Amino acid sequence: MANKKDKTGCYEPMPETMFFELKEKQVRGQLAQQESSLLNCIKKIREKGFDFTSVNEIKGFTSDFVRAQIADAKKKRLQDSQFIPLAIKRREESEFRELEKELVPLADSVQSQLASIPCKIHIGKDGKVFLDANDLDAYIKKECTMQIPEDIRLYYDELQKVCEAWNNLCTWANEHGFIAPTTEIIETLVGESNNGICKLSLSHDQMFNMYLYGVIRKSSVNGDDLDSSEKLEIT
């Protein structure tokens, strides 16, 4: 990331913290996936005939709650009424077992999703469940703000010295009528790296060749580049 220049032309030191945009995309994607999983569980529960009108009802929809409610409904339906045919009683007992078998895993899943989502949730008037926008932004800001180690910030300062030296070279070249230094000059200074380690160096021969072949050259008075062959005759 390029440094910001102030009005005096001095660069700003690297801040102690910075926002990691790539991580923001990952965090938003993870939260969107968690939200989708929660909504999918709630949808399946609603398809079974159970609805939620408040966040507290969702939080209270645990496996223990489901078992207790089913047991209570079963008692009222089957045990408190003596005039139920045996065949109907067996069928309804089977249906209660199936209902518990379906709802308990969904209740566990809902609670698991709620625990994994670090943001508050709301239920709109239309019954739609959604994450709190302000809470979401605050969480993302916290998770994606990284502490920059002091030695990295010092390294940045040292690299800025290199950049400043190169910019001074560009200014000097312009003041003395040279074409602005190109990346080809940098490649010459780097040469062949040793195990990936870059060390800048320049020999008399390298300077002579860059002048000879026009890598370093001056501009003419009318603005046209001078060919090196016009300045140096090889005999």
DSSP letters for 81-97:
-S---HHHHHHHHHHHH
Say yes or no: 50 and 138 in one domain.
Answer: yes
DSSP H helical ranges for the chain? 21-47, 55-59, 63-74, 86-116, 133-144, 150-175, 183-190, 204-212, 228-231
pLDDT of residue 35: 93
Cβ contacts of 172 within 8 Å, gap of 6 or more: none
pLDDT of residue 192: 75
| β-sheet bridge partners, residue 18 | 146
pLDDT of residue 112: 95
pLDDT of residue 87: 84
Domain boundary pick from 146, 169, 190: 146
pLDDT of residue 225: 54
Say yes or no: 28 and 73 in one domain.
Answer: yes
Domain boundary pick from 146, 170, 191: 146
pLDDT of residue 1: 42
Domain boundary pick from 114, 146, 178: 146
Say yes or no: 125 and 162 in one domain.
Answer: no
Say yes or no: 142 and 154 in one domain.
Answer: no
Domain that holds residue 185: 150-231
Q: Which regions of the chain are under pLDDT 70? A: 1-10, 80-82, 193-194, 221-235
Domain count for the chain, please give it. 2
The verdict on pTM exceeding 0.75 is: no
